[in-house]
Amino acid sequence: MTHLEDLPIRADLRGKTPYGAPQAVVPVALNVNENTHPIPEVVAHDIVARVAAAVIGVNRYPDREFTELRTALAGYLGHGVRPEQVWAANGSNEVLQHVLQAFGGPGRTALGFAPTYSMYGLLAAGTGTAWVTAGRDEAFELSPETAVAAVREHDPDIVLLCAPNNPTGTPLSLETVRAVADAARGIVVVDEAYIEFADPGSESALTLLAGRPRLAISRTMSKAFAFAGARVGYLAADPALVDALRLVRLPYHLSAITQAAALGALAHAREMLAMVDEIRGQRERISAELERLGFRPYRSGANFVLFGGVEDPHATFEALLARGILIRDVGLPGSLRVTAGTETETTAFLEAMAAFAPNRIEA
């Protein structure tokens, strides 16, 4: 049998492993930051009808410029964003890949702030872009001073800011985004995959777009829209930056079915986002209860909580899995991450975690 190492694979890809969280069929899956609430039935019926209508015409290529979808996404984003400022692809990972293909590549560098989303480094490697990371402040925060110092030290062609950050959940201030955008000579991408879960009153980096042609704001429908299986991500930026992404996209990269499904979801944005407040409430419940048990939950503006104070993360992960509860070991010492699910899922997780609590009192 031929093995991967027997093939003439690129030298810089040897020894690497594909991205992927552990997968298992369990009663309580809280490991990949999905929205665990199902799509409302009335919305699902409308999406199915739109997809069925699109299927009738799949003998023809879809709208290459996905004009109707871009218009709908611009309307959802608000902040004066126009359709010509919007780009979309099969998940925000593909959107970010387009950015790296257009503005990265051999001899160019992308900068991130570790720990952060692990796909950034993989996307950089896949496009031949050098990937460098700088550190964060205490408790995974990122101040304007720390971020700008890293930009000046590394002089990157692309800066990737995850806001809120994954896997830590840390919110990112507009002051930090503004400082980085003004200091960087290259492209600055603010990945707002979890922004809908931010505390009420939090401002999006969309407010900083005007007059900054090298700033891009990436979003996804996977999280708050409960649309992970549909694979729809998008970006807002200056029209010239969007034009650059056209140079590297594959022909007709967004299928007619994908476009139809996304339009259906956006037409029901209010219903699709109705569970966001509940998820935010479960996030706060998780943080409060874990702190009471003696763990250290970190500040989160996302739909998950990273918590420290875990004596043996791997053993805890395995013990929870044995009880049908799947969370995530993200490789940070003494820490684990859990998605804020439904009230029932959250209860199951918290009851199970009580057995590992530093503050647990033996009977």
Give tens-digit pLDDT for 69-128: 999 999 999 999 999 999 999 999 999 999 999 999 999 999 999 999 999 999 999 999
**Alpha carbon distance 219, 196 (integer Å):** 10
On whether the CB atoms of residues 295 and 307 are closer than 8 A, the answer is yes
Interval 202-217: pLDDT, tens: 999 999 999 999 999 9
| Entry pTM | 0.94
Query: What tens digit of pLDDT does each residue of 234-265 get?
Result: 999 999 999 999 999 999 999 999 999 999 99
Sign of CA dihedral 232, 235, 240, 241: negative
Adjacent-strand bridge partners of 237: 216
The parts of the chain modelled with pLDDT lower than 70 are: 22, 360-363
Sign of CA pseudo-dihedral 162, 300, 209, 229:
positive
**Domain annotation for the chain: domains and CATH numbers:** 20-37+275-356 (3.90.1150.10), 41-268 (3.40.640.10)
* Contact assessment for residue 258 and residue 64, using Cβ atoms and an 8 Å cutoff: no
Phi and psi (nearest 5°) for 300?
A: -135, 135
In this predicted structure, what is the pLDDT of residue 363? 38
CA 41 → CA 27, 141, 157, 345, distances in Å? 22, 39, 45, 21
